[in-house]
Amino acid sequence: MELGGEKLLSIVLTDAYVATMAQQLPSLVVALCRNEQYQCKSDDVEFGMNTTRSYRVAKVFLDKHSISFKLHELRTLMYMFFMIRHQMIMYTKALSDVRAYVKAAMASDCYVEPPPTACGSAIYRQLFEELKLFV
């Protein structure tokens, strides 16, 4: 998952950091509402979130890069996180099937049906057409 903006350096979060953020985000929002200090760091201390001394502003950081969020932005992110986590889970489940399909499709000139056991969340016909644009 990528956090950032047009003029900001993006932070790319791994699955583990997304899970940590999803778990800790509600507590961070509550702390901001109460104007209390809050700090959360991952075990490897590369990723974390904390409140700042600025009123109702929090920072999400990865390594030496950070992004500041105001309370209303974090609330919006918290509401969206259910869908984001679901998409990450679906993506992770489909990854091996899609890789196998890409290998088979690149070797063929006509559409290749995915195996019946392939993940149903990928649109294989569209994937095939996109792949053939690059060949």
Structure confidence by residue, pLDDT tens digits, 50-85: 999 888 899 999 988 889 999 999 999 888 887 888
Q: Is the dihedral of CA 80, 85, 90, 95 positive or negative?
A: positive
* CA neighbor of 68 nearest in space, from 50, 45, 90: 50
Question: CA-CA distance, 19 to 85, in Å (whole number)?
Answer: 8
Please indicate, yes or no, if residue 121 is contained in any of the structural domains.
no
Region 114-128: mean pLDDT is 89
Q: Is the pTM of this model over 0.75?
A: no
pLDDT of 51 reads 92
pLDDT of 25 reads 92
The number of domains in the chain is 1
Give residue 97's pLDDT band: very low, low, confident or very high (50, 70, 90): very high
Please indicate, yes or no, if residue 57 is contained in any of the structural domains.
yes
Q: Which domain holds residue 34?
A: 2-96
Please indicate, yes or no, if residue 86 is contained in any of the structural domains.
yes
Please indicate, yes or no, if residue 131 is contained in any of the structural domains.
no
Residue with tokens 């986590």: 85
DSSP string, 73-135: HHHHHHHHHHHHHHHHHHHHHHHHHHHHHHHHHHT-SS--PPPTTS-TTS-HHHHHHHHHHT-
Please indicate, yes or no, if residue 60 is contained in any of the structural domains.
yes
pLDDT in tens, 22-33: 889 999 999 999
Please indicate, yes or no, if residue 132 is contained in any of the structural domains.
no
Give residue 18's pLDDT band: very low, low, confident or very high (50, 70, 90): confident
